[in-house]
A and B are shown apart, each in its own frame.
Chain A
Amino acid sequence: MMNNIPQIPIVKWADEAVEYLRNNGQWFFEPIKDGLNFTTDFLSDALISIPPLIFILILVAFTVFITKKNWGISIFVLLGLALIENLGYWEDTMLTLSLIITSSLISIVIGIPLGILISRNKTMEKVITPILDFMQTMPAFVYLIPAVSFFGIGMVPGIIASVIFSMPPVVRLTNLGISEVSTELIEAADAFGSTPMQKLIKVQLPMAKNTIMAGINQTIMLSLSMVVIASMIGAEGLGVEVFRAVTRNQAGQGFASGLSVVILAIILDRLTQALNVQRHF
């Protein structure tokens, strides 16, 4: 019986949609591509131009300050970055960092307003939640195909794929954080005559700050997990080294470059978490 139903041409539709957008959407994709190229180039050039020693010292000082003298993490930052430099992955790490910073910033800039929007509009929430589910569960490799179609190879499709894959947490947790603010505080804000905007800025966002920061942390971690995948379409950085080691069956190289990714991940994670625990916001 199942054989009688003709195959639903999802493959064909998807192909045609991508084809159509590639042919007709360049007016839209082209400026994005240029803008992102400029941003990542600028960022990676800037990061690379800082001498490693200076960079390490600045970051360690920043860590000491932000973690309120948590020496364990500070020493880890010092030794971890020194190891990366020692292994010869400094430049790759800076390239990866600029990819993560760019894609995370885009995710945050789009994600937080989207989270705010769905926290105040239940219909929007019902529409957007399944899209977020889709974005997060679709195997990340799949995004590479249309990304290359629209943006060519290089950093930009990598950033776009990272944004799609890593944006959902910040949207979800912004929504959650705002929804969690207790009714009584919302009533208090209303009872004293706040406008919706005053309520958002003076009460809801400050109260939701920790939850939103947790979302940002997850978004950064997810975009880091896209580094290797993005390297398959020409995004420079540590991912390229890992990917090369895999294709050439070089266990040592793979471990060393993988270790650099881990060090970068731990530093980013601890620093964003440290931003979170500061008392009274």
Chain B
Amino acid sequence: MKKIEVRGLTKVFGRNPRLGVKLLNQGKTKKEILEKTGMTVGVNNASFEVNTGEIFVIMGLSGSGKSTLIRLINRLIEPSAGDVFIDGENLSKMNRNQLREIRRKKLGMVFQKFGLFPHRTILENAGYGLEVQGVDKEEIKEKAFEALKMVGLEGYESQYPDQLSGGMQQRVGLARALANDPDVLLMDEAFSALDPLIRKEMQDELIVLQSKMKKTILFITHDLDEALKLGDRIALMKDGIIVQIGTPEEIMTNPANEYVEKFVEDVDRSKVFSAQQVMIKPETIEAERHGPRVALQRMKKAGISSIYVVDKNQNLLGIITAEAASKAAQEGQKDVYAVLDKDVPIVGPDLPLNEVFDLIYDSPIPVAVVRDNKLIGIIIRSTVIAALARNGVKNDE
């Protein structure tokens, strides 16, 4: 179900926006209009829909018009042309009072530099949206408390914004946007001002929060890694135009044009791929049927120095090295249980590749990919490198 619908949204900054819109309709580019009239095209004919409960990321470099676009949605900037519908209601046609009502009830906004009121306590900041609605004081307090608790800021209520770190300030920003329980969250580069570790933490937390809240979120960022991590769908913007809309997967595997492709090239692929996308089929022996001699033979044939051991149901038991296998064979042992090494590196199939790295570098043996205790694949260094260099490795390779 669609929550937000944007149709032909256009913003021209300058003395005669109407002329600008006309020139755009005639097919003139942003550059031509700037040269001819001195007016700047902020957003050019943007159309998209955001479904209920979806995180829709608008992604672009600075100057691409993404910050203008999000402000056109709640009319912090007045559109030059086009319509914005929320729940089928056209915001562009509303008068001041109707618009204020929508902003109060349905739209929450989180700002890049937090936008907290320095003269108000954390609690007063979180309750601002309710306060302007004239909600009764006790209820404001209660809901603001609730919202602060949700973002993990219990106990800071009576502090002031400048007493908090950047990450905590943005939690307050988030709490303020959540306090009046809006359907839609507009997040304008909400995590861009935070340092990388805190940023990652906030992203993770937003994902957790979203799984409970099911808000419709419009998230602006210039960071493709962030877009891929958070977005259910992503819109890529350039020069005020939306160049591609798609799921992270679609954008990565099928860039619409050179611009998107260039972006995608820069992406840290390690964050996009998961363990199961780069794993390969493992060489194994079954502990019930195969002894050390079979193990040695298979290792020799495959040119490897260790082999994973499973039971007949593919449950992972451990690993044996060539060394241990040949020792067991010399001693005349019939099975591998005695020399089995149970201490093996294990990852789940959905773990992002960048988190597999540490394990791989520390480990002399391949990393096992395990689902429900069953060995479904292994990851070795060369497959990881191949994935980073190309578009991933298929399971059957």
Residues of A within 8 A of B (CB): 184-185, 187-195, 198, 202-203, 206-207, 209, 280-281
Most buried by B among A191, A202, A280: A191
The stretch from B105-113, B207-215, B285-293, B380-388 touching chain A is: B105-113
Contact between chains at B103 and A192 (CB < 8 Å): yes
**18 chain-A/chain-B pairs, Cβ below 8 angstroms:** A184-B113, A184-B114, A184-B115, A187-B115, A188-B109, A188-B115, A188-B128, A189-B128, A191-B74, A191-B76, A191-B109, A191-B186, A193-B100, A193-B101, A193-B132, A195-B100, A280-B119, A280-B160
Instruction: Count contacts between A and B, CB distance < 8 Å.
Output: 63
Q: Mark B86-116, 1 if CB is under 8 A from A, else 0.
A: 0000000000000011011001110111111
Is there a chain A Cβ closer than 8 Å to B30's Cβ? no
**Residue B364, interface by CB 8 Å:** no
Beta-carbon contact of A192 and B119 below 8 Å: no
Residues on A with beta carbons closer than 8 Å to the beta carbon of B115: 184-185, 187-188
CA A65 to CA B114, docked complex, whole Å: 35
Contact A192 B129 (CB under 8 A): yes
Tell me the smallest distance from the CB of B39 to a CB of chain A, in Å: 20
A188: nearest chain-B partner, CB-CB: B115
- Name the residue on A nearest B186 (C-beta): A191
Contact of A193 among B103, B113, B116 (CB under 8 A): B103
In angstroms, Cα B75 to Cα A190, docked, is: 9
Main secondary structure of the interface of A (DSSP, over half): helix
Residues from 114 to 132 in B contacting A, C-beta threshold 8 Å? 114-119, 128-129, 131-132
Among candidates A187, A202, A280, residue contacting B76 with C-beta atoms closer than 8 Å = A187
Task: Report yes or no: B76 in contact with A206, Cβ–Cβ below 8 A.
Answer: no
B132 to chain A, nearest CB (A): 5
CB contacts (< 8 Å) of B254 on chain A: these are none
- Whether the Cβ atoms of A207 and B133 lie closer than 8 Å is no
Q: How far is the CA of A187 from the CA of B112 in the complex (A)?
A: 12
Q: Kindly state the separation between the CA atoms of A209 and B116 in the bound complex, as whole angstroms.
A: 17
Closest chain-B Cβ to A198's Cβ sits at a distance in Å of: 5
With a cutoff of 8 Å between Cβ atoms, the chain A residues found around residue B112 in the complex are 184
Question: Beyond the given A184-B112, A193-B132, could you list 15 further A-B residue pairs with CB under 8 A, ordered by the A residue number?
Answer: A184-B115, A187-B111, A187-B115, A188-B109, A188-B128, A191-B186, A192-B103, A192-B108, A192-B128, A194-B132, A198-B132, A206-B117, A206-B119, A207-B117, A280-B119
The reply to whether A192 and B113 form a contact with Cβ atoms under 8 Å apart is no
> Which single member of B103, B117, B133, B160 contacts A203 (CB below 8 Å)?
B117
User: Which residue from A188, A191, A195, A207 sits with its C-beta under 8 Å from B119?
Assistant: A207
Q: How far is the CA of A203 from the CA of B128 in the complex (A)?
A: 10
Asked whether, in the complex, the Cβ of B132 is within 8 Å of the Cβ of A202, the reply is yes
In the complex, are the beta carbons of A195 and B76 less than 8 A apart? no
Evaluate contact between B117 and A185: CB separation under 8 angstroms.
Answer: yes
Let me know if B176 is at the binding interface, CB within 8 A.
yes
Question: Smallest distance from the beta carbon of A144 to chain B beta carbons, Å?
Answer: 42
Q: Are A188 and B160 in contact (CB under 8 A)?
A: no
Residues in chain A near residue B131, CB distance under 8 A: 202
Check B132 against A191 for contact (C-beta < 8 Å): no
- Which residue of A192, A207, A209 contacts B132 across the interface (Cβ within 8 Å)? A192
Residues of B within 8 A of A202 (CB): 117, 128, 131-132
Chain B residues within 8 Å of A203, by CB: 117
**B132 pairs with A195, CB closer than 8 A:** yes
Q: Give the CA-CA distance A194 to B116 in the complex, in Å.
A: 15
- Residues on the B chain within 8 Å of A192, using CB: 103-104, 108-109, 128-129, 132, 176, 180
Do B118 and A191 touch (CB < 8 A)? Answer: no
**CA separation between A166 and B200, bound complex, in Å?**
55
Q: How far is the CA of A196 from the CA of B176 in the complex (A)?
A: 20
Bound CA span A209–B71, Å = 28
Which B residues are CB-close (under 8 A) to A185?
115, 117
Complex-state Cα separation, A134 to B103, whole angstroms = 44
CA gap between A192 and B160 in the complex, in Å: 20
CB nearest to A199 among chain B residues: B132
CB proximity of A196 to chain B, nearest CB, Å? 9
Q: Looking at the complex, which one of B101, B103, B116, B186 makes contact with A190 (CB distance below 8 Å)?
A: B103
In the complex, the chain B residue whose C-beta lies closest to that of A206 is B119
- Tell me, rounded to whole Å, the shortest Cβ–Cβ distance linking A204 to chain B: 11
Known contacts: A193-B104, A195-B100, A281-B119. The answer to whether A188 contacts B111 by CB under 8 A is: yes
Decide: B118 and A207 in contact? CB cutoff 8 A: yes
Distance A174 CA – B176 CA, assembled complex (angstroms): 29
Residues of A within 8 A of B114 (CB): 184
Task: Kindly provide the distance from the CB of A206 to the nearest chain B CB, expressed in whole angstroms.
Answer: 5
Set of chain B residues within 8 Å of A193, measured between Cβ atoms? 100-101, 103-104, 129, 132-133
B residues within 8 A CB of A187?
A: 71, 76, 109, 111, 115
Give chain B residues whose Cβ lies under 8 Å from the Cβ of A280: 118-119, 160
Q: Which residues of chain B come closer than 8 Å to A207, judged between CB atoms? A: 117-119
Docked CA distance A207–B116 (Å): 12
Q: Which of B162-184 contact A (CB under 8 A)?
A: 176, 180
**Do A184 and B111 contact each other (CB < 8 Å), given the known contacts A190-B103, A193-B103?**
yes
Q: Looking across the interface, which residue of chain B has its beta carbon closest to that of A185?
A: B115
A188 to B76, CA, bound (A): 9
| Complex contact B132–A190 (CB within 8 A) | no
What's the nearest-Cβ distance from chain B to residue A122, in Å? 15
Bound together, the chains give a CA A160 to CA B171 distance in angstroms of 52
B54-74 Cβ-contact flags toward A at 8 Å (1 or 0): 000000000000000001001
